[in-house]
Amino acid sequence: MTASRTPASRNINKVLVANRGEIALRIFRTLRDMGIKSVAVYSDADAAMPFARYADEAVHIGPAPAAESYLIPEKILEAALATGADAIHPGYGFLSENADFAETVEVAGLAFIGPTPDSIRTMGDKLAAKEAVLAQNVPLVPGTEGAIDDPSKAVEAAEKIGFPIMVKASAGGGGKGMRVVEDPAKLEEEIKRAMSEAQSAFGDGSVFLERFVSSPRHIEFQVLADGHGNVVHLFERECSIQRRHQKVVEEAPSALLDQDLRDRMGACAIDVARSCGYVGAGTVEFLVDADRNFFFLEMNTRLQVEHPVTEMITGIDLVEEQIRVARGEKLRFAQDDLRIHGHAIELRVYAEDARAGFLPATGRIAHYAAPEGPGIRVDSGVGGGDEIGIYYDPMVAKLCAHGMDREQAINRMIRAIDEFSVSGLVTTLDFGRFAIDHAAFRSGQFDTGFVAKYFTPASLDRPWSEPQAQAAAAVVEQLGAGSAAATSANETTPEPKSGWTRRFSQ
């Protein structure tokens, strides 16, 4: 087992967030709540973005492409040292699961607000992760014990495992280097493609084979661990509604789990964390089959995009707990102290065109008005006039709804979607409304094949009621008047902008 970081009390008075957009802004707010100074880093494309303006200090780190700014460890570390930061929070994405970066931060004398470099390395390699959790008797999907480096030998291994086969990249995730193969005759060709894709995406072309679990549910458990040997889980999140292997709707708790299954999976999640000496906040992901058997999938050694739903059902600020652990503190609660309060749902609102296969639909936001009211939380890093560019993830916001029970959370989410006004570009609000109001979702009877099974572009064709149409027309007319005034003043013709991004249902 990898040794955990030796607990040591340390002061953290200023934190640099090595990220951008909504997650940077979300971390800054907790830092302000805790009386800790914040430092933003920004690229050319982000100079005027809300997160860069919100921080106490902001440092320019380079051109718009992430490879020339947010992904260069030296620039991040130089900014931290120049501003006198005590610690670096990586957020998610970018350098958040880069073990070398975490090690460099610690060698420089700063706190890395995340797990140890060894834990990141172990769980970042799927084969090493499987080896680590085997010692804890964590259930695994049947598959190869090592990497496949010779595609011609894969057929023999696959016959022992059983078809259909899932080919997975050893290093990485997000669906890259992943293939489902049902025909043994196509296995060698698909493995070669997966290797090529994995090499291009992660610099590591190794892959392994697993039996494909049909009709699975994707369930993950939030874990927290300190440097004193204490580990807890903060219950599960249901993440089965996905497109291109990327989550789009998450909820907590899952409609699938009863208390017995929750307890067993939660205990396994804690065992996974202990298997690598984990410290901080992390997520253990499982697949659950049609017979309610569960299998370890992977561990994400960072804060998750969907962490707000866990915060809403537990009342615990996960970023605050990350910082407290980084300061060397013990967890302030034990497993028996934790309870589920109500139900929460998150919709990731992207600048994507669901009608065109969820292709990015970047552009400038002409008008932005987030919903409000009981149980609603919106984590966003943009507003009216801001641009969703080509260089980064096209997320507009994370829309969250909390209720006393699942039905109330669903109804609040639908109300919030209908109130969320975004114009100037296409978003996935329409898709979110379709998914969350679908009978399969409402019943809790769905799996990771939801989008493929139920969604078509025609699913978004909903008529407007007359009052809704009139209200939308009035806003569009007002926006048009503003554009006309600007045109008259500048004697230029504004670029055409797309219309409203969703249709209201009756």
Confidence check: pLDDT of 246 > 60? yes
User: pTM higher than 0.75 for the full model?
Assistant: yes
Contacts of 126 (CB under 8 A, 6+ apart): 168, 169, 170, 171, 208, 298
Residue 3's CB is within 10 A of a number of other CB atoms, namely: 10
Q: What is the mean pLDDT of residues 14-24?
A: 98
- For the chain, the residue count is 506
| 427 vs 1: which has the higher pLDDT | 427
Q: What is the pLDDT of residue 200?
A: 84
Pick from 164, 163, 360, 344: which is nearest to 243 by CA?
360
Q: Under CATH, which number does the domain 217-460 receive?
A: 3.30.470.20
**Side-chain-side CA neighbours of residue 76 (13 Å):** 29
The third-level CATH classification (topology) of the domain covering 142-211 is Dna Ligase; domain 1 (3.30.1490)
The domain locations on the chain are: 14-113, 142-211, 217-460, 466-500
Structure tokens at 379: 């984590």
Q: Give the alpha-carbon dihedral of 39, 41, 42, 47, to 10 degrees.
A: 20
Peptide bond into 65 cis (omega under 30): no
Q: What is the mean pLDDT of residues 150-175?
A: 80
Buried b (16+ CB within 10 A) or exposed e, 186-212: ebbebbbbbbebbbebbebbbbbbbbb
- Asked if residue 234 lies in contact with residue 310, where contact means CB atoms within 8 angstroms, the answer is yes
- Which pLDDT band, with edges at 50, 70 and 90, does 467 fall under? low
Q: What is the pLDDT of residue 504?
A: 32
Q: What is the mean pLDDT of residues 101-108?
A: 98
DSSP string, 333-401: --GGG----SEEEEEEEESEEGGGTSEE--EE-SEEE---STTEEEEES--TT-EE-SSS--EEEEEEE
Q: What is the mean pLDDT of residues 3-13?
A: 72
When mean pLDDT is compared across 25-29, 333-337, 413-417, 502-506, the lowest value belongs to 502-506
When mean pLDDT is compared across 70-74, 91-95, 302-306, 500-504, the lowest value belongs to 500-504
Q: What is the mean pLDDT of residues 457-464?
A: 81
Residue 121: burial class (beta carbons within 10 Å; 0-12, 13-18, 19+): buried
Q: Which residues on neighbouring strands pair with residue 249, listed in sequence order?
A: 241, 347
The CA distance from 97 to 76, in Å, is 15
For 393-402, what is each residue's pLDDT tens digit?
999 999 999 9
Confidence check: pLDDT of 494 > 80? no
For 112-138, what is each residue's pLDDT tens digit?
999 999 999 999 998 899 899 999 999
User: Does residue 297 sit in helix, strand or coil?
Assistant: strand
Please give the share of the chain, as a percent, with pLDDT higher than 90: 73
Q: Under CATH, which number does the domain 14-113 receive?
A: 3.40.50.20
DSSP label at 322? H
For 294-338, what is each residue's pLDDT tens digit?
999 999 999 999 999 999 999 999 999 999 999 999 999 999 999
User: Do 217-460 and 142-211 have the same topology in CATH?
Assistant: no
Please give the share of the chain, as a percent, with pLDDT higher than 70: 89
Pick from 96, 130, 134, 123: which is nearest to 112 by CA?
96
CA diameter of the chain: 73
- Asked if residue 420 lies in contact with residue 371, where contact means CB atoms within 8 angstroms, the answer is yes
Beta-strand pair 57-62/37-43: parallel
- Which pLDDT band, with edges at 50, 70 and 90, does 144 fall under? confident
Confidence check: pLDDT of 499 > 50? no
Element spanning 83, H or E: helix 73-83
